[in-house]
């Protein structure tokens, strides 16, 4: 079973439509996470402004915040392995990420 974890910087809503800047990237991320779910993977998404306990509970996330601060957000993990730090994935990276999940059988115990 694959688990994708996304740790967002502090924000109001995850699509960003309630912020001052309408960032198309955030909307693409929402879309990508939906696609990942439809591939059978588990998606966890945490917003620092709403679920800080999840950030504190994860030793790796906590270490990064200690060392680098919130500019290191967002963080994306696949089964605990850090795959992206400090920005959201661009189009090519999103495709690669989806490819990687697709190539891993949902029943693969890793």
Partner 1 sequence: MNHHNNNQTTPSSPLHSTLPLPHRPIADILTDAPRFLFFTGKGGVGKTSIACATALALADSGRQTLLVSTDPASNLDQVLGLELARTPRPVPSAPTLSALNINPAAAAAAYRERIIGPMRGLLPEPTLREMEEQLSGACTMEIAAFDEFTEFLAADGADAATHAHIVFDTAPTGHTLRLMALSQAWTGFLNHNTSGQSCLGPLAGLEKQRSLYSTAVDVLKDHTQTRVILVSRPQPAALREARRTAQELENLAISNQCLAINGWFTPTHPDDDVSAKWAEKQSRAIATSKEFLASKPLYLAPLLSDNLVGLDILRAFFRSTTNNIQNGTPPSNPSNPSNPSNPSNPSNPSNPSNPSNPSDLAEELAASGRGVILTMGKGGVGKTTIAAALALALAERGANVLLSTTDPAAHLQDALNGETGTLQIERIDPQAETEAYTREVLASQPDNLDPEAKALIEEDLRSPCTTEIAVFRAFARTVAHGDNGFVVLDTAPTGHTLLLLDATQAYHRELGRQSRSPHHEEAIANLLPRLRDPAFTRILLVTLAETTPVREAADLQDDLRRAGIEPQSWIINQSLADLTTADPILAARSRSESKHIQEILQNHSRRKVYAVDWSPLEPIGRHALLHLIHHHNTTTTNQANQEPT
Q: Of residues 1, 34, 42, 108, which one binds partner 1 by CB under 8 A?
A: 34
81 by Cβ neighbours in 10 Å (0-12 / 13-18 / 19+) ranks as: exposed
Q: Least distance from C-beta 37 to partner 1, angstroms? A: 8
Residues in contact with partner 1, shown as a per-residue x/- string from 71 to 110 under the rule CB under 8 A = ----------------------------------------
What is the rounded distance in angstroms from the CA atom of residue 102 to the CA atom of residue 67?
33
Q: Of residues 1, 42, 56, 81, which one binds partner 1 by CB under 8 A?
A: 56
Q: Of residues 20, 103, 107, 109, which one binds partner 1 by CB under 8 A?
A: 20
From the list 8, 13, 6, the residue with the least C-alpha distance to 36 is: 6
Task: Give the list of residues 6+ apart from residue 26 with CB closer than 8 angstroms, or none.
Answer: 14, 15, 16, 88
What angle is formed at CA 53 by the lines to CA 48 and CA 55, rounded to 5 degrees?
Answer: 55
Closer residue to partner 1, CB minimum distance, 70 or 95: 70
**Three-state DSSP class for residue 45:** strand
Q: Does 22 bind partner 1 (CB under 8 A)?
A: yes
Contacting positions for partner 1 (CB under 8 A) = 9-15, 17-24, 27, 30-31, 34-35, 38, 45, 47-53, 55-56, 62, 65-66, 69-70
């Amino acid at each position: 079973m694959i688990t994708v974890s996304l740790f967002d910087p502090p924000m109001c809503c995850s699509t960003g439509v309630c912020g001052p800047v309408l960032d198309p990237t955030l909307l693409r991320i929402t879309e990508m996470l939906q696609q990942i779910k439809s591939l059978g993977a588990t998606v966890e998404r945490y917003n620092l402004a709403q679920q800080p306990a999840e950030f504190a509970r994860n030793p790796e996330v906590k270490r990064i915040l200690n060392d680098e601060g919130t500019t290191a957000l967002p963080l994306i993990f696949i089964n605990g392995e850090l795959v992206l730090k400090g920005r959201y994935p661009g189009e090519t990276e999103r495709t690669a990420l989806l490819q990687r999940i697709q190539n891993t059988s949902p029943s693969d115990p890793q």
